[in-house]
Amino acid sequence: MSLIIEDFGGRVATVWSELRPTTRGLVERALQASNASSSQVRNVPYDPRADLELSRLLTALDDRAVEPGTSLDSEKGDQLKHVADTCATVLQEKTQSAEVFTQLVRRAEQQRDYRRIDVLADALTSRFAPSEICELARSEDIVVRALANEALAQFPTSVLVGLLSDPVDSEIARDALRRQAMEYGSDEARRIINALDQVDEL
């Protein structure tokens, strides 16, 4: 594995060498799994602190893949893509970081991998706290923002009401309640929005 990594250039090799042994082992085990399928990666033990390290490795690999005048032959290029995709799959299955989620969505969008975007969207409601999704709803990336707003609209109305007292997230929560009322016909959300509007008029 170390020889393959060295073949990808100095920056990738440096990032690889700075990984903690547990994170390096995580990637190596995922690479050994056949095509790094989601079901196999899902069973790999994960240390959440690996998020930042794997994100840096993925960035270095993706940058190397599009580097002008890259000297990689087709076999090494395929290996590079395989390692990058494996790293992205591990993060996709495990991350709970808004920044890493944004990175993965942008990567999938650039590759026109809409199936992966759908998988990432599903991960939002199952793995991310409402406050994290609110952070994503403020993203500058239009796709990330749309995915986050859609996820928030799927939350129980009571969860969104709980966010109204947060000065940072309240406006995002109110928008989600409006969507529930207008697009999903929620009577409860409509009552809450009407009450909030009455308070605003006082």
> Is 146 within 8 Å of 114 (Cβ atoms)?
no
51 vs 66: CA distance, rounded Å? 23
Place of tokens 């042994």: 21
In a domain, 8, yes or no: yes
In a domain, 87, yes or no: yes
Number of folded domains that form the chain: 1
CB hemisphere CA count around 49 (13 angstroms): 6
pLDDT above 90 covers what percent of the chain? 59
φ, ψ for residue 172, nearest 5 deg: -65, -45
Q: How far is CA 113 from the centre of its chain?
A: 14
Phi-psi region of 97 (alpha: psi -120 to 50; beta: other; left: phi over 0): beta
In a domain, 61, yes or no: yes
At 139-197, the pLDDT tens digits run 999 999 999 999 999 999 999 999 999 999 999 999 999 999 999 999 999 999 999 98
36 pLDDT band, cuts 50/70/90, is very low
> Is 18 within 8 Å of 71 (Cβ atoms)?
no
71 vs 26: CA distance, rounded Å? 28
In a domain, 147, yes or no: no
> What are the CA-CA distances from residue 110 to residues 36, 74, 104, 134, 155 (Å)?
21, 21, 10, 24, 29
Predicted TM-score of the model (pTM): 0.84
> Is 30 within 8 Å of 40 (Cβ atoms)?
yes
- Which residues constitute the domain of residue 14? 1-95
65 pLDDT band, cuts 50/70/90, is confident
In a domain, 28, yes or no: yes
Helix 130-137 and helix 170-182, axial crossing angle in degrees, nearest 10: 90
Looking only at Cα atoms, what is the longest distance across the chain? 69
pLDDT at 29 over 80: yes
In a domain, 167, yes or no: no
In a domain, 48, yes or no: yes
Radius of gyration of the chain (CA): 20
In a domain, 33, yes or no: yes
159: tokens are 């969860």
